[in-house]
Structures are given as structure tokens and as C-alpha cells.
Amino acid sequence: MAQSYDASAIRVLEGLDAVRMRPGMYIGTTGSRGLHHLLWEIVDNGIDECMGGFATEVQVTLHKDGSASVWDNGRGVPVDMHPELGISGVEVIYTRLHAGGKFGNENYAYSGGLHGVGASVVNALSRWMTVDSFRDWTHWAIRFESNYDETEGKVMAGKAVTPLERLGNTRKRGTLVRFLPDDRIFEDTVFNHDVVRSRLRELAYLNPNVRITLTDERVSDSAGRTEEFCYAGGIADYVRWLNREKTPLTDEIIVFSGQKDDIRFSAAVQYTDSYSVSVFSFANNISTGEGGTHEAGFRSAWTRIFNDYARRIGALKEKDNNLSGEDFREGLTAVISVMVKNPQFEGQTKGRLGNTEVRPAVESIVMNEMTLYLEDLKNQDLGQKIVEKALKSAKVREAAQKAKDLARKKSALEAAPLVGKLSACTGRKAAENELFIVEGDSAGGSAKQGRDRRFQAILPLRGKPLNVEKKRIDQVLANEEFRSIITALGTGIDEDFTLDSLKYHKVIILADADQDGAHIRAILLTFFYRYMRELVTEGHVFIGMPPLYAVKRASGIQYAYDDRELKKLTKGLKGGYTVQRYKGLGEMNPEQLWETTMDPKNRKLMQVTIEDAVREDSLITTLMGDKVEPRREYITEHAEFNKADRFEGTLEDSYRMTWGSGEK
């Protein structure tokens, strides 16, 4: 019987209750990314004080009890009574959505947290939060908790359990916020040290001379417990750090800044001998991993200024076509930062800047500053090297374009070469279809026989693909394995990539749990990151997790996916069983492969996501680049060879640790 729908069925969520009901609307996810987003909201408030010139220091502490605290030496949170609400300023900020001092320009000219929901959302999604305000020589404190209310029959979000108290006089100034993420909301409440460290270092580069300290009380070694970040060189130091494992075209870093109306823009650029492009953009200190109008303005102006320069020095003749932006960006590492008084971010997680007025302002600043830079005689040598590199890139691009066109024609006119490799599914709904990229013919044969052909397609790899980090795009397109993947997915690659054309919404890498299998996974992940990044950012790439062991008993077979599960399965068994260690996927028959690794009801998939573009880019350079020593050092430091619940010291360990990943 259908329920009646009338006014009584309409539920009104007041205050912070709405946040607990739909946390994803405010922090994007209740996974690892959402958990860390809580910390970023509080850290950003401290950084905003530094941006405004009111603070010089931010301290972050990860406590043993799972909580985190952030202190800045700014002005302290207002404690006087709000004239309309009749409660203290502290309570307004931490219990009311869309409340804060950042909506006007009186207190903060430039700020990252303009939605006015950050601090209150953190309170709503925490078990408890304490706020200490050191202001006007006085120490004030208040505590909030999210507890179950018997009368209301629900958890009451972020309620003040103590009144704002005056604790005494103090010489200290600033704000101290400590909170414990609510394990009733989040899948995991453990802050990742490396993720926090990376973000704080990033903020220190973006805010020259601001001292940022990370203390992790969970670290047993007191020597490694506290780190301090402070950089006088700002984003120029950042670019130098990003390229530490690459070979620069020259040691010089191009640095410039400017302002148009209320928009401030700065950039630091250095070229390397690599083929990849690394542009990291920020708006009001917020990482804009999805780009936006500031990045579009920088790219278009950069292309225009260097085409003009190439013609001025005679490298491009009158009859020659302009070079593309792709040509001038090859090997480029850039950090660009824009400050906007009223930034418009897409969503509360702030992944893309949308202000239309920013693009022309940035274009104007880049054109003016770089024109002056290239007119200076001492910069002529670098300018010519950039143009020479772009001309070489153009020749490769033209060859690659011919290869792309040929590949399109082949796929359209004669798909026969791929048909022999790809076993397509019968379903025509891309959202329901899955493509398994399988290592080897043996495993590919089992997967083809064991799959559900209605929605699962199989593409066996007959050889190890190229490491794309060391190859030009024309060499990538010449590789048969990558051509097969590109054709099967139907999206195109690089500048031609179109997610709307994706034929399979789950792309699952299925390789052996050994060194070779881990290397193939690393190569494929690098390819997707460099040439089909949106495939990763939109959550379409997964790693299949086959079992490592089969425990056979008279009653049947059970599977263990790691040593820990094996111990659990065999605990208490006194005999009458055998354990088989799978050395590869090919050892499983089609029925076993389906049951353990391909059946959506039983399988384990690890979704590959990008939590921090800077860290991911740096990791790929370390693991897949030309320099051996950084790779050896990374694996020595991070691979945990003795830990039972991990792959045994493979490159996959490193990818799993740094590429944000969660089981699905």
C-alpha cells in the first residue's frame, strides 16, 4: 500500500542535521578524501588569517586519540554576542551554516573558505570539537558534541555542551580548534600522515615565509614526529622541488606576477627534457585539480606569447602555421596561483574555478609580464630553447596525428585486428559494461570462458606495454597493446579524449600478484594518468584483486586474498585441509576466476582515485622516470616486505599507498 504524500511527509532538516543526513553534499565523500577535507577546512581558516596579514604561523597536530588540532597565531575567533542571534560569535561560526566573516571584504580581502559552511560542517561531522580563542589578552573556550538525544530520537549535531567560558588572562593570541571525526559517518577516521604532510608543504610554498608545522603524536620515533615548512622563495621553490627528479632544460625558473583590477596572479615555470606536462593551479590557496578559468587564461596566453616570439626571432616564417599549445607545453612544469575576491568554485570541494572575469585578466597579466621577460636580452637564450623544443614537439605531434587518424580509419573500416584480441560483451549500455584488461593469453582465456558475456568484455595483453613516462606520444601510439586499449575504450587520448564516448564504465586491470603483474599495473596506471586522466578522476579505473590462496577441505573451497585472511580461515583447523598458493591468474580455471575475481557479488575491486595531483605526478616521476636512485630510495622507504596483508614489496605497494584507493 502506497504511503500518502501530504505536508506531514515533508521533513525539515534544521541547522547541522542536514549535514549529517547528506554529508556528501558538503565534503564530497565519506571516504578518505572527505575525512581529510574536514582538516583542510580548519587549516584553510588559519591560512586565511595569514593571507590577510593577521598571522604568521599555523600548527597542525595529529593526536593519538584520532583527533586533529589546528592553531594559528591570528586574531582569535570573535567571542562577543551576535547582535541578531543573541549567542557568541564562536557559536555562530561553528553551529550555523553560511555564517562567517568572509562574505564581505572588510575582514578578508582574499579567502579560500567563502561558503561559510566549513567550520560548522566540521563540527557537524565530528564526535566532539573544542574551540579556544586567545583574544584581547583573554583565553576563551567552548566544547561541542554530537550525541544521541533520547527525546529527539536522533543524534543532535554539534551542540554546545558547555557555555563559552573565560579561562583567564593570556599573552597568547590566535585560535585553537581540535576535533574528532565521527566514526558513525566516515568509513575510516585515521588521518594519513603523507597526505597531510603534502598539503601543508603545498600551503607553505603558496604562502612565502608563513611557518607551518606538522606534529604527529602517533609516530613512535620522536625524531620524525615534528616537521616544519617555510619557504622564502614561494612557488619558485615549489617548481624546483617538483622537478627535483627530472632533468631541467635550464636551471632558470621563470617567475612573474601581476594584478588587474582585483585579480592577482603569479606563476613559476620551468622546462624539463620530459614529454609530460605538469600544470598545478590554485585559486585563493585552494588546489583546483580540475583547472578553471585561471588555467585556461594562462594556457592561451602562453601559447600566443611564444608564437609571437617564434615569429619575431624568425623560427616561424610568415607562411608557417602557428604551433599549438600542446607544443609549447611539452616538458613544462608550472605552478600558477590566482587571488580572487569572490571566487566561484564548483561545489564545496572547490575543484574548478568558474569566474569568467578571471580568464581575460590572467591572459592580460601573462602577456604583459612575459613580453617584458622575453624582451630582456639575458632571457633570449632560454626563450630560443623553448621555441626549439616546441618545434621538435610539433613534428612529433604531426606524426602522432597521422597515427591517430590512421587508427581511427582502421577502427572504423576494419576492426578485425582488435576482434581477435577483444572479446566484446553483448550489452549496449556503457554504464553497465566492464572491460577487463588481463595479463597474458592463459588468464585471458580463463576470463573469456568464465565471464558473464552480457556485460563483461575481455582484452588480453600479449606483451608488456611501453612505459609511457619515457616515450613520446607517437611511440605510445605505435605500441600494439596501447592501440588495442585505445580502440576498445573508444574515447581517444590526450587532447582528443572524450569521456562521453567511453564504451565501458568500469575498466578493470587484472594482473598476477607478483613483480611482473605489479609492473604491468604501474605501466597501465601511468598511461591512464598521463593520457586519459579523466578516466581516473571520474572513477572508472579499478584494480582486480584475485585471491592468493585456496583452502581446500572436504566441505568445499574457501579463498583468502592475503596472509591475514589465510590465518583467519585456517585458525583452529587441526588437519584435513590443503592450501594452494596461486602463482598467477592462469592457475585458476574459468569457474574459479569468475567466483573469486569477476562475479560482482563476491569479488574485490580497488578503485583508483586521485586525491592529490602534485603527489601523484611526483610519484609517477619517481617510479616510472629515468632516474634509478630516487626509485630505489622510495621503494626502500615505503615497501613493507614483511607485512602480511600487502603485496610483497612491489611497485603496486607504492601506488596503493599514494594513489587514493578504496575497495568497491
Which tens digits make up the pLDDT trace of 206-227? 999 999 999 999 987 766 689 9
Residue 98 pLDDT > 70: no
Q: Which of 74-83, 92-101, 299-308 has the highest mean pLDDT?
A: 299-308
Give the pLDDT of residue 655.
Answer: 39
Helical segments of 465-514, H only: 473-478, 480-489
Pairing of strands 278-283, 286-287: antiparallel
**Higher pLDDT, residue 241 or 660:** 241
Which has more pLDDT, 112 or 432? 432
Share of residues in the chain with pLDDT > 90 (%): 44
Which regions of 411-567 does DSSP assign to beta strands (E)?
434-439, 456-461, 506-510, 541-544, 549-553, 556-560
Mean pLDDT on 415-439: 81
Residue type, 371: T
Residue 521 has pLDDT above 90, yes or no: no
Band the pLDDT of 12: cuts 50, 70, 90. very low
**pLDDT, position 639:** 53
| Own/partner pairs, 274-278, CB within 8 angstroms, 24+ separation | 274/246, 274/247, 274/331, 274/469, 274/621, 274/625, 275/330, 275/331, 275/471, 275/472, 275/473, 276/331, 276/469, 276/530, 277/329, 277/330, 277/331, 277/332, 278/242, 278/332, 278/333, 278/334, 278/617
Element (H, E) at 176: strand 174-181
CA atoms within 13 A on the CB side of 516: 11
pTM of the predicted model as reported, rounded to 2 decimal places: 0.73
What distance lies between CA 364 and its chain's CA centroid? 30
Quick one: pLDDT at residue 406?
61
Residues 291-297 have a mean pLDDT of 94
CATH 3.30.230.10 is the classification of domain 235-396: yes
Name the strands in the sheet holding 506-510, side by side, starting at the edge strand that comes first in the sequence: 456-461, 434-439, 506-510, 541-544, 605-608, 661-663
Q: What is the pLDDT of residue 612?
A: 64
Highest mean pLDDT among 253-257, 471-475, 537-541: 253-257
Q: Other C-beta atoms within 10 Å of 163: how many?
A: 10
**17-229 classified as CATH 3.40.50.300:** no
Summary mean pLDDT of the chain: 83
Provide the annotated active-site residues.
439, 512, 514, 516
> Greater confidence, 60 or 464?
60
Question: Contact 334/265 with Cβ under 8 angstroms?
Answer: no
User: Do residues 543 and 659 touch, judged by C-beta distance below 8 A?
Assistant: no
CA atoms within 13 A on the CB side of 427: 16
Question: What is the model's pLDDT at position 640?
Answer: 44
Q: Would you state the pLDDT for residue 564?
A: 85
What are 650-662's pLDDT values in tens digits?
333 333 333 333 3
Question: What is the pLDDT, as a whole number, of residue 157?
Answer: 83
Classify 415-546+585-663 by CATH class: alpha beta
User: Is the model's pLDDT at 602 over the cut of 80?
Assistant: yes
Q: How far apart are CA 299 and CA 530, in angstroms?
A: 18
One-letter amino acid for residue 137 of the chain: W
For the segment 100-120, the average pLDDT, to the nearest whole number, is 55
Residue 158 pLDDT more than 90?
A: no
444 sits in which H/E element: helix 441-450
Task: Assign 638 a pLDDT band (cuts: 50, 70, 90).
Answer: low
Rounded-to-integer distance, Cα 380 and Cα 264, Å = 27
CB distance 514 to 649 below 8 Å: no
Contact by Cβ (8 Å): 332, 277: yes
Q: CA 305, 308, 313: angle at the middle one, nearest 5? A: 120
Q: What count of other Cβ atoms lies within 10 Å of the Cβ of residue 282?
A: 24
> 245 or 281: which carries more pLDDT confidence?
281
Give 384's pLDDT tier (boundaries 50, 70, 90). Answer: very high
Q: pLDDT digit string (tens) for 555-581?
A: 888 888 888 889 888 887 887 889 988
CA distances from 161 to 374, 517, 574, 611, 623 (A): 62, 54, 54, 35, 50
Q: Do the Cβ atoms of 382 and 252 come closer than 8 Å?
A: yes
CA angle 49, 55, 60 (to 5 degrees): 85
Q: How would residue 7 be classed by pLDDT, with cut points 50, 70 and 90? A: very low
How far CA 56 is from CA of 104, 214, 388, 578, in Å, comes to: 23, 15, 43, 63
Nearest to 533 by CA among 572, 591, 492, 567: 492
Lowest-confidence region among 194-203, 462-471, 521-530: 462-471
Q: Where is average pLDDT lowest: 173-182, 376-385, 407-416, 583-592? A: 407-416
pLDDT in tens, 41-66: 999 999 989 988 999 999 999 999 99
Question: pLDDT at residue 35 above 50?
Answer: yes
Q: How confident is the model at residue 616 (pLDDT cuts 50, 70, 90)?
A: low
Judged against a pLDDT cut of 80, whether residue 348 lies above it is answered with no
Give tens-digit pLDDT for 262-292.
999 999 999 998 888 899 999 998 888 888 9
Nearest one of 646, 641, 642, 643 to 656, comparing CA atoms = 646
Give the per-residue pLDDT at 433: 96
pLDDT of residue 11: 38
